[in-house]
Chain A
């Protein structure tokens, strides 16, 4: 990774790779690389609670102190609300750790799989699936 981000970018050795998230609206495989899971920690700068996918942005500082603003994609707001999340579940300034999958095109973009607050509480856990059925 040229970005030298504070990330763990490896196919997990001991842990099972989570099921690749559902997006429903567009091709996951064309946009994201299921072989490139990523874990990033940083500070939330913005939430876009809009369709077809909610998105949030996080300032991530690398080992050299360089800050990069990353974009993360979630499921649809409706699907998230049906799981109990709201547009206020994540607020600017929150420090979070996101597990997701990197975009194939090298953009500072990932599909968020789970989001954990600094105190360990999960936000948008399993949020990438959409709309109808949920576990």
Chain B
């Protein structure tokens, strides 16, 4: 990622690459030790995204960087959004809302390195997120349409409507965001005009493929799409996580007020 400051240190013959602003190590794209079982399906043939276990994503620090996602994205920033992004990079993401234990939003929640579960009901999908702000998200699948824009209540996770493309792809269309989230750790901006289209697929039992299209005319000149894979962890449970109980980092981060 060209915006990233990389420091190359040649040390005793060992080339060390430290992504200085990334605080990251290479993506831990582990594969489960379990033999690949087929995609589980419900009686109607639709994919079952559940099972005894959790989905455990890597930490996607940058939705545009192939270090974490399937392929590089040339992000079509507006000039204002680019300036915001560059400021966040120059300040090492110190004002990241997640540092304040605020919700990551969409699509960031799915690229946050804490497990989640998808509770699949006939009229809705409920996603339980362990980490970040320990929230749930309801994806309505009862045939409703989006709330008219003038009646929308802007929120961190927006309003999500789900539908199926065939039996294999769950499509989640979300609007109604409050514009206070960052799309990722590196700070791709989002505004209240954010519209996200997510596609969830489960090509085998242990793999969730996640694709998100970012359509935010407040920050980008055209939609852009990113994707990555999430492993299933059989037998894991979701655990309690209360981010605010001992959040001592803020005084050391040099944070400004959250945006």
A residues apposed to B, CB below 8 Å: 11-17, 19-32, 34-35, 48, 50-53, 55, 73, 76, 78-79, 81-82, 103-105, 107, 109, 129-135
Contacts and interface: CB of A to CB of B under 8 A. Distances in A.
13 contacts: A19-B24, A24-B113, A24-B131, A25-B101, A30-B254, A31-B249, A31-B253, A34-B23, A52-B249, A130-B113, A131-B114, A131-B130, A133-B30
A15 B14 CA distance: 8
Interface of B: 7, 9, 11-12, 14, 16, 18-26, 28, 30, 56-59, 91-94, 96, 98-99, 101, 112-115, 130-132, 185, 231, 233, 236, 239-249, 252-255
Contacts, number: 152
A27 B94 contact: yes
Contacts of A15: 14
A133 B231 contact: yes
B162 to A, nearest CB: 23
A131 B115 contact: yes
A22 B59 contact: yes
Given A19-B26, A34-B18, A134-B28, A26 B236 contact: no
Given A27-B92, A132-B115, 5 more contacts: A51-B242, A52-B243, A76-B114, A78-B130, A81-B239
A27 B56 contact: no
A46 B244 CA distance: 20
A133 B28 contact: yes
B52 to A, nearest CB: 16
Contacts of B132: 25
A132 B56 CA distance: 5
